[in-house]
Amino acid sequence: MAKQPPRRPKLAVWKFASCDGCQLTLLDCEDELLEVAGHLTIAYFLEASRATLKGPYDLSLVEGSITTPDDAKRIQRIRRQSRTLVTIGACATAGGIQALRNFADVDDYVRQVYPRPEFIRTLPRSTPIRDHVRVDFELKGCPISRHQLLEVIAAFLAGRRPSIPEVSQCMECKRHGTPCVMVTRGLPCLGPVTQAGCGNLCPPLGRACYGCFGPMETPNTASLAGWFAASGTDSAAIRDLFRTYNAAAPAFRRESEAQARTTSSHADDA
């Protein structure tokens, strides 16, 4: 993170292709929100206020992925105005659920959805912010964790590195005392290849991890997918497990493509 600037640094929150859930996490900080506002000047945050201040900004939080030619230009302008730029959420860090288009022909979608497709200017792929500009820190999650967002802001204000573990979701299950749903129930769970941080939301409710926080630091997706297959999950279902909010994160994309090849070779055999 950049060195702490003098008084009341200016905060900006930017939106690209996304659902707004991650920037709402900032408003959702309730108890801490006034404290955040006390230490940062909220200079640009349209979800919170129409009043905006001109740049440059000390800290920019960027939500959403790049899906249009205009946005590809806009992120360049934002980067130039931002001393520190932090991307927040699965869209900004991995391309989001809308990156499912990356596995298809976007023109087909446009023709099916819009009566006048010639008005639509869109890019063939949804891409994370780091594919376009330098990013100082990536905060993963769909949506991001409120606790982790505050840690990133506190670290920025203190001029230290944020402490955001990149270990597996399994570590959260074990710290919380949640018995493994793979082991006790045979569920195909993405926890072992997914980064911790959500607060262990699903497994305590008996649901396997969806992978909302994207790949952990060293994801061995091939081994996990092999175990799913040996336990009776077919390759199409395994492919779909890896194709959700972080479908275009490289580790998940490669595994879903490998599963798709298996699926189509099975289809050829049939």
Q: Which of 186, 261, 265, 266 binds another protein (CB under 8 A)?
A: 186
Residue 175 contacts another protein per CB under 8 A: yes
Beta bridge partner(s), residue 85: 60
Residue 98 contacts another protein per CB under 8 A: no
**Residue nearer to another protein on the CB measure, 126 or 168:** 168
Span of 43-51, 136-144, 221-229, 232-240 interacting with another protein by CB under 8 A: 221-229
- Within 8 A by CB and 6+ apart from 224, the residues are 190, 192, 193
* DSSP line for 171-230: HHHHHHT---HHHHH-----GGGBBS-S-S-SGGGT-----TT-B-SS--HHHHHHHHHH
Residue 250 contacts another protein per CB under 8 A: no
Size of the site for another protein (CB under 8 A): 46
Using CA of residue 93, residue 94, residue 96, residue 98, what is the dihedral sign?
Answer: positive
Largest distance between two CA atoms of the chain: 68
- CA angle, corner 207, sides to 204 and 210, nearest 5? 110
Q: Which of 167, 199, 207, 265 binds another protein (CB under 8 A)?
A: 167
Residue 51 contacts another protein per CB under 8 A: no
Residue 264 contacts another protein per CB under 8 A: no
**Residue nearer to another protein on the CB measure, 41 or 81:** 41
Residue 191 contacts another protein per CB under 8 A: yes
**Residue nearer to another protein on the CB measure, 90 or 224:** 224
